[in-house]
Structure 1
Amino acid sequence: MNKPLRTAILFAVPLLACAMAASAKEPGNVFISSEKDHTVTVLDAKSQQQVGVIKTCKRPRDMRLTGDKGKLLVLCGDDGSVAIIDVAAKKVVDKIKLQEGAEMFDLSPDGKTLYFSNEDDALLVAVDLASKKVSKEIKVGEEPEGVLISRDGKIIYVTSEVASLVHVIDTASGKVIKNIQVDKRPRRFALTPDGKELWVTNELGASVSIIRTTDHTVAHTVRFEPKGFRADDITPVGVTMSRDGKTAFVALGKANHVAVVDVGTRAVRNLVLVGKRAWGLGLSRDEATLYVANGLSDDVSVVDIAKGRAVKSVKAGRVPHSVVVDD
């Protein structure tokens, strides 16, 4: 190798290393909504220390990042609105009035429409984000809660707590095309990465219903029976899925544990002790850390997934509800 070429390569290698380091995303933030403090607590994902508290609207609950991750949308139940937070600035930059009784929501894949459940009026409501106007109202069962849109945007799933149903709604027509009977008080959803299974937590059924999305029938029910707990203390709510679709994490509510479930075998691999009333869940980008919002101990448990245990507890306002990880 001639000297000029060797010199060029030696000079280029450090530059390439610098470029790769610059393009690698540094750990960002973890956002936790606090129902009683009307705030969103911000943690640094690397240090897991609090770096900010954002005043929102009354009783912030469900949260979603926009597709570009530039904005965080926070639904506030007690004033029926969505606060829009600028992620970089860590402050509310806009609000959209919804309706009283707003519970949970999801965003269409194109980011143009927000769909939320109205618990008081038993509705799924569509809001055009550009005009901030209601574009559609769809009647569903009593006390709707969970809302999830399929990845192609063609189907919306909504839980009805009182009717113990999952409603399957055609987005184009705005009609309920099927009602799926599940266990008592269904709450939240998670889709497997291939979109073939919909996991639904049943708070008063101590279970998860697994629905085939091809024919919208219940394929299996995972029941949770941790030793030492009464059945009415096992109240699954939050659920999230690993990117490879092999592991599901289910927050067991008053049982103060998170169940780690093998998706393929449906077996509970581990039960992780966390804080009081484990509720919302958030998984880090590298899937090494699970954040668990504990509604009755006013904190977030930081779970090391490899170790299979909580390694830290961080205060997160009164009655933390949901967790969004932006790292």
Structure 2
Amino acid sequence: MNKMPSPRWFAGALLLVTTLLVAAGLAEGAQGGAARPAGQAGNQVFVSSEKDDALAVFDARSRQLVAVWRQCKRPRHLQLSPDRTRLYVACSDDNRVDVVDVASRKTVASLPVGDDPELFDLSQDGRTLYVSNEEDGLLSAYDTASGKRVFAVRVGEEPEGVKVSADGRHVYVTSEVANLVHVIDVASRKVIRNIQVGNRPRRLLLVRDGKELWVSNELSASVSVIRTDTFEVAQTIAFAPRGFRAEDVTPVGMAASGDGTRAYIGLGRANHVAVVEVASRRVQDYVLVGRRAWGLALSRDNARLYVANGLSDDVSVVATASRKAVATLKAGRVPHSVAIDD
């Protein structure tokens, strides 16, 4: 294994990058977590950068870089608390989840959550964090107030995607190696169903008021649609953007519009986002974005889709009405996830 650069090197690199951005007129703020002015609306777009160990924040209206700071080793998944006052950050190489105050951009807590956390989900009341431990093959539940582990359930190898059901009774977890989605009953703390899906399932999305669970299959160029009442696969949605070989179509990240009519699926190395009509489960369009379209997030008005592109080190801003990328935000090395405080 290659030796990781020292923290001092990372800090220096981040400072240099930010200085260059400011000099180029691309940043309004400086290095570090500057507080949001009192009374100002949110409109912050947070992006995690795996290789820079950093978080960046952009102003959603001006699309200018406001600040960038070193958060932890290999930050990945980002998620806002239900009340949108806290930003949770999966720190994969530090074996913890950091809790960042959205207004001040300061870390207010760190939850030790076991080896290599990648993705997680929060209960609807924000009191429980469910996290996948990739190296240990576990789904772990933590009390967000005390930081203590409530329980852990063994699942298949390399668990990744985590999603709490609409009623909070179940937690769904993908196993990349076993090609399964595990259904965990929260009350009994046991796996009650294993659902076979496509090759290398990655992320999960609930649609149709929680009646359907969509699963992105990275190595099958598809999404499996699971009925949550029967835990059966109802349909498989295949993706075939023009000009790309099947092996280059690698769906991972997903997002759904607030009204539930549209779903957006990042197609990885195919450098496109698929637009799918939820009711018919038909692909309506493919939107060209950056290289290796990965993490997706929608603004609350559904007007803008943000797409983290892991190989072009940027975030595409897509206007959902025109289905065109209208801006590109430079977001550090290997951006992973996007979270929007709007």
The answer to whether structure 1 residue 229 and structure 2 residue 241 are counterparts is: no
Say if 1:193 and 1:243, in contact at 8 Å, map to a contact too: no
The answer for the alignment partner of 2:33 in structure 1 is: none
The answer to whether structure 1 residue 197 and structure 2 residue 212 are counterparts is: yes
> How many Å apart are 1:103 and its aligned residue?
1.7
The answer for the alignment partner of 1:47 in structure 2 is: 62
The answer for the alignment partner of 1:300 in structure 2 is: 315
Say if 1:34 and 1:319, in contact at 8 Å, map to a contact too: yes
User: What does 1:57-136 correspond to in 2, within 5 Å?
Assistant: 57-136=72-151
The answer for the alignment partner of 1:282 in structure 2 is: 297
- AA aligned opposite 1:69: R
- In structure 2, distance between residues paired with 1:94 and 1:267: 43
Say what the alpha-carbon RMSD is for the aligned residues. Answer: 1.3
- Gaps in structure 1 of 5+ consecutive residues: 1-24
Report SS of the residue matched to 1:211: strand
Structure 2 length as normaliser, TM-score?
0.87
Match of 2:254 among 236, 239, 261: 239
- In structure 2, distance between residues paired with 1:290 and 1:129: 29
The answer to whether structure 1 residue 147 and structure 2 residue 159 are counterparts is: no
- AA aligned opposite 1:255: A
Match of 2:265 among 245, 250, 266: 250
> How many Å apart are 1:130 and its aligned residue?
2.1
The answer for the alignment partner of 1:33 in structure 2 is: 48
- In structure 2, distance between residues paired with 1:136 and 1:223: 36
Report SS of the residue matched to 1:232: helix
> How many Å apart are 1:26 and its aligned residue?
4.3
The answer to whether structure 1 residue 324 and structure 2 residue 339 are counterparts is: yes
The answer for the alignment partner of 2:184 in structure 1 is: 169
- In structure 1, distance between residues paired with 2:92 and 2:338: 16
Deviates more, 1:178-187 or 1:44-53: 44-53
> How many Å apart are 1:110 and its aligned residue?
1.7
Report SS of the residue matched to 1:89: coil
Report SS of the residue matched to 1:51: strand
Match of 1:56 among 46, 60, 71: 71
Report SS of the residue matched to 1:78: helix
Moved over 4 A (4+): none
Say if 1:55 and 1:92, in contact at 8 Å, map to a contact too: no
> How many Å apart are 1:233 and its aligned residue?
0.5
Q: Which has the larger radius of gyration?
A: 1
- AA aligned opposite 2:242: K
Report SS of the residue matched to 2:52: coil
Structure 1 length as normaliser, TM-score?
0.91
> How many Å apart are 1:101 and its aligned residue?
2.0
1:117-164 deviation line (CA, Å, top 9, x unaligned): 011111001111222121211010111000000122111000000010
- Gaps in structure 2 of 5+ consecutive residues: 1-39
Match of 1:309 among 324, 329, 333: 324
The answer for the alignment partner of 1:268 in structure 2 is: 283
> How many Å apart are 1:285 and its aligned residue?
1.1
> How many Å apart are 1:239 and its aligned residue?
0.5
- In structure 1, distance between residues paired with 2:122 and 2:209: 19
- In structure 2, distance between residues paired with 1:90 and 1:30: 12
Identical-residue share of aligned pairs (%): 59
The answer for the alignment partner of 2:306 in structure 1 is: 291
- AA aligned opposite 1:95: S
